[in-house]
Amino acid sequence: MKKAISGIGLSVLLVLLAALSITAAPRHNPSPADTILLNAAGATFPYPIYSKWFDVYHQKYPNIQINYQSIGSGGGIRQVLAGTVDFGASDGPMTDEQIAQAKMKILHFPTVLGADVPTYNLPGLNVELNFTRNALVDIFLGKITKWNDPQIASANPGVNLPAKDIVVVHRSDGSGTTYIWVDFLSKSSQEWSSKVGKATSVNWPVGLGGKGNEGVSGLVQQTPYALGYLELIYAVQNHLPYGKVQNPAGQYIKADLASVTAAAAGAAKNMPDDFRISITNAPGATAYPISSFTWLLIPSKIADPAKRDAIKGFLKWMLTDGQGYNEGLSYAKLPQSVVAKEMKTIALIQ
């Protein structure tokens, strides 16, 4: 009797599993011959707009599915180099060593413009703080430990900053958002540049690590007196306050569409052919100093013709209709000249 129960139990379990696996898939998929499955991975910085784009594109062409996993820019670079994904995404352009490791040329395609913002959690204090570049460098070096430190207080007259420890939050995974942030810190401080350097993953002097932009915003939300860096849209979507940063022209600028677009204005003129350019600390009175492009990393040779056409088609859509979704999610549009240049580069994908 007992034997029968367990035997029945197991067989029911296995039959259920088999039935689930077999019956569910075909009902929801178009016939396998038509479906083109693309796997992609990378940056969390543009994940909100990418997930929107891939969803809209899938509605438009139901047989094309782009499965994007936001595992961080480091992951995007790694997996595209290893060939385990069809394309990657990163907010930090690949270094020359990384490009040398690739079996074939990897093309960089800028998609949107975004910004890193310093976000914080000050219980009871609902203000917009000003940060000088040196203040941010010293906070992340661990030299400034309290919120009411003179370097922060002098930029924020009249604000009653608490005498509490700053809980620094950074990324625990390899991240382009990190790359943008430390690129900015490296340009702003010789000490940071030589001590810590810039890469998608660095040896942080202080702080807690959160996984992905999602992890950092989660940690900042839950930890009083925390200070972290986030992509702009994550701060906006999660209603986290973020501060203004002083740009090289001396102005305290808040990150928004206008200031990020201003930062990119100069860059469009000097855009190199491989699109790898940094626009942190851009010149201009209204430019936000921690802005950046973010790129899709597309292999220049794609064996499967169906996949190749699907990717090329998506890129063309992304550069035209896709750009219309940017501003709704607080990402700035690409400058027209950059779009034109990218359209020509699409032809390089074989």
Partner 1 sequence: MTLHLRWRKFVNLLMLGLTGVCVTVAVSALLIILGYLVIHGARSLNWNFFTKLPKPVGETGGGMANAIIGSAKLILLASCIGIPIGCIGGIYLAEFGGKTFSFLVRYTTDLLNGVPSIVIGIFAYTVVVLPMQHFSALAGGFALGIMMIPIAVRSTEEFLRAIPRSLREGSVALGASKWKTIVRVVVPAAIGGITTGIMLDIARVAGETAPLLFTAFSNRYWSPGWNQPTASLPVMIYTYAIAPYEDWHRQAWAAALVLLALVLLTNIVARLVLYSRRGSVSR
Partner 2 sequence: MASHPQIVDGRGRLRSPAAFLRRLSNGDAIAHFITLTFAATILLITSLLVYELWINSRLPRHAFGWRFLFTSVWDPVFGHFGALPFVYGTLVTSAVALIIAVPLGLGAAIFLAEMAPRGLSDILAFLIELLAAVPSVIYGLLGIFIVVPLVRDYVGPFLKSTLGFLPLFRGPCYGVGFLTAGIILAVMIIPFIISVSREVLLSVPPDQREASLSLGATRWEATWKAVVPFARTGILGSIFLALARALGETMAVTMVIGNDPKISASLLAPGYSIAAVIANEFTEASGDLYLQSLIELGLVLFLLTFILNGLARILIAATETKGMASE
Distance from C-alpha of 107 to C-alpha of 117, rounded to nearest angstrom: 28
Using the rule CB under 8 A, give the single segment among 36-44, 104-112, 177-185, 332-340 that binds partner 1. Answer: 36-44
Q: How many residues does the chain have?
A: 350
x/- mask, partner 1, residues 156-195, rule CB under 8 A, reads ----------------------------------------
7 binds, among partner 2, partner 1, none (CB under 5 to 8 A by kind): partner 1
Nearer to partner 1, 143 or 211 (CB): 211
Binder among 72, 92, 212, 243 for partner 1 (CB under 8 A):
212
Query: Which parts of 152-181 interact with partner 2 (CB under 8 A)?
Result: 165, 167, 172-174
Residue 203 found at the interface with partner 2 (CB under 8 A): yes
113 binds, among partner 2, partner 1, none (CB under 5 to 8 A by kind): none
Residue 238 found at the interface with partner 2 (CB under 8 A): no
Binder among 6, 59, 222, 270 for partner 2 (CB under 8 A):
222
**Cβ of 277: how many Cβ atoms within 10 Å?**
17
Asked whether 109 and 298 are in contact (CB, 8 A), the reply is yes
Using the rule CB under 8 A, give the single segment among 1-9, 110-118, 150-158, 312-320 that binds partner 1. Answer: 1-9
Name the percent of the chain in helix, strand, coil, to the closest 5: 45, 20, 35
Distance from C-alpha of 83 to C-alpha of 63, rounded to nearest angstrom: 23
What backbone phi and psi angles, to 5 degrees, belong to 40?
-135, 155
Q: In 191-238, which ranges are E strands?
A: 208-210, 226-231
Nearer to partner 1, 55 or 327 (CB): 55
Nearer to partner 2, 6 or 203 (CB): 203
Which of 284, 246, 243 has its CA nearest to residue 264? 284
Asked whether 118 and 91 are in contact (CB, 8 A), the reply is no
Q: How far is the CB of 53 from partner 2 (least distance, A)?
A: 22
x/- mask, partner 1, residues 242-281, rule CB under 8 A, reads ----------------------------------------
Which of 149, 177, 175, 196 has its CA nearest to residue 78? 175
Residue 343 found at the interface with partner 1 (CB under 8 A): no
For residue 151, give every residue at least 6 positions away whose Cβ sits within 8 Å of its Cβ, in sequence order, or none: 132, 134, 135, 138, 144
Distance from C-alpha of 32 to C-alpha of 311, rounded to nearest angstrom: 18
Binder among 42, 43, 45, 47 for partner 1 (CB under 8 A):
47
For residue 244, give every residue at least 6 positions away whose Cβ sits within 8 Å of its Cβ, in sequence order, or none: 128, 129, 130, 131, 252, 253, 254
Nearer to partner 2, 21 or 203 (CB): 203
Residue 41 found at the interface with partner 2 (CB under 8 A): yes
Angle, vertex CA 304, rays to CA 312 and CA 52, nearest 5:
40
Which residues bind to partner 1, rule: CB under 8 A? 2-7, 9-10, 13-14, 16-18, 20-21, 24-26, 28-29, 32, 35, 37, 39, 41, 47-48, 51-52, 54-55, 58, 65, 67-69, 82-85, 210-212, 214-215, 217-218, 221, 234, 237-238
